[in-house]
Structure 1
């Protein structure tokens, strides 16, 4: 199940980081040269406990 949010800030963050091209552009060049960016898996599930969801957002990006 995908994470839902009511905070405009979190909604914007989640919208940006749900797009592979944004994730690729967000990573600094000096780090990119060490990564294989051909396969990106974006997990929007959300793993924060209830007590932190009001203050934090999470997106997990897996690179193969």
Structure 2
């Protein structure tokens, strides 16, 4: 598999982040457990999960699958 250029990789990362932000905004606008959790006392877990997902994605990109 060929390597992606750093510029292309950054552009893909930006687009994925924008799509994820739009998805979360859409989900938070709908009534349900996600919106209730963000508004309730468990508000801390949403950014914690997002941060952990970001760290995991970064590790996979930087160090590959192996």
Structure with the bigger percentage of helix: 2
Structure with the bigger percentage of strand: 1
Same fold (TM over 0.5): no
Query: TM-score category by the smaller chain?
Result: 0.3 to 0.5
Greater RCO (CA < 8 Å, at least 6 residues apart): 1
Q: TM-score scaled to structure 2, two decimals? A: 0.35
